[in-house]
Amino acid sequence: MKFAIVALLPEPTDDPTRADFISKEFETGDEVGQAINELEEHYPKWRIISICHIEDLPLLMEGPK
């Protein structure tokens, strides 16, 4: 079963009103730990938003209508 993590990155310094989200897809749970370590290293103030099935990822990542 493939799944994904959606994360909120810290507020960008150039525009504090903007929120940046990233997502990453995984084949196994073992890959999640490595991704979390990478996020911690580059973005210490990141926040997890959701863990979902990859089929639901486009719904979470699309902008408001």
2-12 pLDDT, tens digit per residue, is 888 888 887 77
Yes or no: say if 26 and 4 are a contact pair by the CB < 8 Å rule: yes
Yes or no: say if 41 and 34 are a contact pair by the CB < 8 Å rule: no
For residue 10, the model assigns a pLDDT of 78
pTM beyond cutoff 0.85: no
For residue 58, the model assigns a pLDDT of 80
Could you read off the pLDDT of 30-56 as tens digits, one per residue? 888 888 888 888 888 888 878 888 888
* Residues 41, 42, 48: CA angle, nearest 5 degrees: 85
CB atoms within 10 A of CB 12: 11
